[in-house]
Chain A
Amino acid sequence: MKTTLLFGALLAATLAAPAQAGSVTLPSGAPPVWKSECSSCHVAYPPQLLAKQGWQNVMNGLQKHFGSDASLAPADAKTILAFLERNAAPDGDRFDAASGRITDTRWYGRKHHEIPSSAFRSADVKSAANCQACHEGADKGRFSEHALTAVGRRFED
């Protein structure tokens, strides 16, 4: 195998690793305001699960944030956006979603293609935004299929 090919394969494996493992490591140095603001209504979604453009769209539309007013003090919004941009997935890959919904990324779709939509509507889950209904360690970036809640196990395969 040529060196470039080997390198390419290694690089692909490295890049794919977090998604394949179903877990990400929450970036160190997260500003406290990110945690406190972004986890008031849902788990603070790890920045790596959405591309930069997606986060920019989210942060530009907080007054109508998926149907809720999540407006922030300008200084806090600036701090949070800088953190998200620093740790976002690169644009132009499987974490793209102009809507700002992680559930619209190709990555999310591939990971959940076997889950029926009725599962997301069930009383125990109610919304695909409710990661922790199925993923025990969602607040810590752990989305492995080996760490599911009882509800999550019910919907697996």
Chain B
Amino acid sequence: MKPAAIVALIAAALFGATTASAEAPQDIQAAYAAQAGAGFTASAQRGRTLFTTRHGVSADFPACTQCHGTDLAAAGKHAITSKQIEPMAVRANPQRFTDAAKTEKWFRRNCREVVGRECSAAEKADVIAFLRAGS
């Protein structure tokens, strides 16, 4: 075995179990797009609509922008606890959408809360396309 391969194996053993493998936002978006079915193309415009619409299901969290703000390159603020939320725009925060499991977890929680139901794979792809814009 070549030394480089050994190093890679050791690195994988050391970091693989505890840290999520770094994924790329475009790949996570593509995976949702594939789930949405053949012929689907993600739309940043539809993503913007979903993200900025006042769904009004929850009094505390009527829209995504309630916590994430309207300037997506700036930090947001949790509507209840006031804890700072790092920017959603990939261009401002390269950590966004680099962990598929984390992405899925927050879509599940926040769509239930804000939209009142889980989002479809198509909607998730659209929102990521919107938040990747300009990156």
Contacts and interface: CB of A to CB of B under 8 A. Distances in A.
Contacts of B60: 67-68
A106 interface: no
A43 B84 CA distance: 11
B126 interface: no
Interface string B48-86: 000000000000110000000000000000101111000
**Size class of A's contact patch?**
10 to 19
Nearest to B59: A67
Contacts, number: 39
Contact of A66 (B18, B80, B82, B108): B80
Contacts of B83: 41-43, 130
A32 B83 CA distance: 20
B109 A42 contact: no
B78 A41 contact: yes
B67 to A, nearest CB: 9
A69 interface: yes
B81 A41 contact: yes
Interface in B80-135: 80-83, 105, 108-110, 112-113
A69 B107 CA distance: 11
A71 B78 contact: no
A45 B86 CA distance: 20
A14 to B, nearest CB: 33
Contacts of A73: 105
A127 interface: yes
B18 A32 contact: yes
B80 A67 contact: yes
A129 interface: yes
A35 B58 CA distance: 27
A129 B113 contact: no
Contacts of A71: 108-109
A121 to B, nearest CB: 12
A66 B78 CA distance: 13
B82 A70 contact: no
Contacts of B80: 41, 66-68, 126-127, 129
Task: Identify the 3 closest CB pairs spanning chains A and B, nearest first.
Answer: A69-B109, A42-B81, A126-B82
Interface of B: 18, 60-61, 78, 80-83, 105, 108-110, 112-113
Interface of A: 32, 41-43, 66-71, 73, 125-127, 129-130, 133
